[in-house]
Chains A and B, each alone.
Chain A
């Protein structure tokens, strides 16, 4: 079974861009441990000879024609922007020049 270490929690937090203080971290750790334990239950099933399920969808080929439609205006699009000049979404500087 996967052992939930502080380092694993830190890595996952980093990948998810989340931050936890020490108390939160220990709660998360124990939650994760429980989740993993729960999933481990699946290992008890004998899947010998069962086709692996690649995708949960029961339908295939749900496709649309190549048509331009459904766009909204820029004003509407920028409504929830954290900051905007009316043209762009503005975010904190990503790279230092």
Chain B
């Protein structure tokens, strides 16, 4: 099998749907929020009653353009919607309002990192469309239930070229899209709730072959991890088929996460004739360079730009810069703290270490941490001044600061008696106790094993419960041991 694998090249194209985080739907004023009682976000337009007239949501257009700019697309100066006609009970209009020629964003790319190398995955385009409702098949034995709350909510579909060549690349690609949509605030990126959905077109071909192999579309990939697992399974299945002399047929398959398999949904692609035509009820959209410029100015600094800034302007390592820009909230927190403290490396360590840990422990978003940049700057300062050490600060002071916006690290250290002491009297007592507990080591030290000094300092720190100032302790120890 592993030999066989080497013969083939995998070709993957992804279609990612992102639900735009607007208040209202794409063409009417129903709420676009998730999780409401069924069929409570409906209007005559959503229900497709005769005589209703849809009107495009300005914000949805702006969000689509934002994504286009973030993905280096060409923004169409003239774009319009088309009707994509098909029948399904959760599609009340009998057509989806989508775009098939002149999509709002053309071409572009998403930069991914795999095995330490950077590569741009090319996009075909990004278009705007409305979502269908939800069919619930398992509620009653004889009926399918339809909930139209989701019908008409705004989506962008980000369509890549068949430009990825491994499940890992697909994984990185979706991860990057998720980070981007959250970063620029156009989608919450929640795959479980379906705000971000992914379909994969997978094919294989012999290495060196130019013609694409027969593709299979895999649906129902409801987590980034499942995107990877489903593609891995599918590639394996296809290679086995071809090696056994079987023919791959064009299929739509679904991924079953519990069994980690894909299975056929529809065998032969039934006449996929959507009979697209321009939607006459919706006016086309014209976007001037000025419009695009205005929207561009609304965008925050993008992660890759900030990452470069963090390295060049703040002297952080590439790794720290990457960790800080995993989400916008951590990058913002860094910038705010760096405004008041110049201990950039320490700030980065606090954010990617104890603060992120704290958020994880409480299972909340980083932005929900009740912590002010000033409090972290203050904590870093008292460590720098030798008043407390890092481990006391992170284990005792940080939890006490949380949710106490008025408290400072110094207050807490003083009140909780956590300040390191440089009082030589107190220090000497701890040192004597420490040395008395390990007479053998003292002898070894005096015979020349000077490296043991660290052990003694450690012991003093332990006895003092972290309060001994390590620098003065070291000096005192050196004097004492001669």
Contact surface of A with B, Cβ cutoff 8 Å = 11, 14-15, 17, 54-57, 59-74, 77-78, 83, 85, 87-95, 97
- Is there an interface contact between A89 and B30, defined as CB atoms closer than 8 Å? no
Q: Which residue of A lies closest to B283 (CB)?
A: A62
Q: Does B80 have its Cβ within 8 Å of any Cβ on chain A? A: yes
A-B CB contact pairs (8 Å), 24 listed:
A15-B273, A54-B78, A54-B80, A54-B101, A61-B285, A61-B286, A62-B56, A63-B56, A66-B23, A66-B57, A71-B40, A71-B42, A73-B40, A74-B39, A77-B39, A77-B42, A83-B143, A90-B140, A91-B89, A91-B143, A92-B144, A94-B137, A95-B137, A95-B144
Q: Does B278 have its Cβ within 8 Å of any Cβ on chain A? A: yes
A87 CA / B146 CA spacing, docked (Å): 9
Q: Which residue of B lies closest to A77 (CB)?
A: B42
Against A, the Cβ 8 Å flags (1 = close, 0 = not) of B178-207 are 000000000000000000000000000000
- Is there an interface contact between B284 and A74, defined as CB atoms closer than 8 Å? no
A58 CA / B310 CA spacing, docked (Å): 49
A67 CA / B59 CA spacing, docked (Å): 10
A45 CA / B56 CA spacing, docked (Å): 35
Tell me which residues from 2 to 55 in chain B have a Cβ below 8 Å from any Cβ of chain A: 22-24, 28-31, 37-45, 47, 55
A59 surroundings in chain B (CB, below 8 A): 283
Contact surface of B with A, Cβ cutoff 8 Å = 22-24, 28-31, 37-45, 47, 55-61, 78, 80, 85, 87-89, 101-102, 135-140, 142-148, 271, 273, 275, 278, 280, 282-286
- Is there an interface contact between B283 and A61, defined as CB atoms closer than 8 Å? yes
- Is there an interface contact between A72 and B42, defined as CB atoms closer than 8 Å? yes
A5 CA / B136 CA spacing, docked (Å): 39
Q: Which residue of A lies closest to B31 (CB)?
A: A68
- Is there an interface contact between B80 and A93, defined as CB atoms closer than 8 Å? no
- Is there an interface contact between B55 and A74, defined as CB atoms closer than 8 Å? no
B273 surroundings in chain A (CB, below 8 A): 11, 15
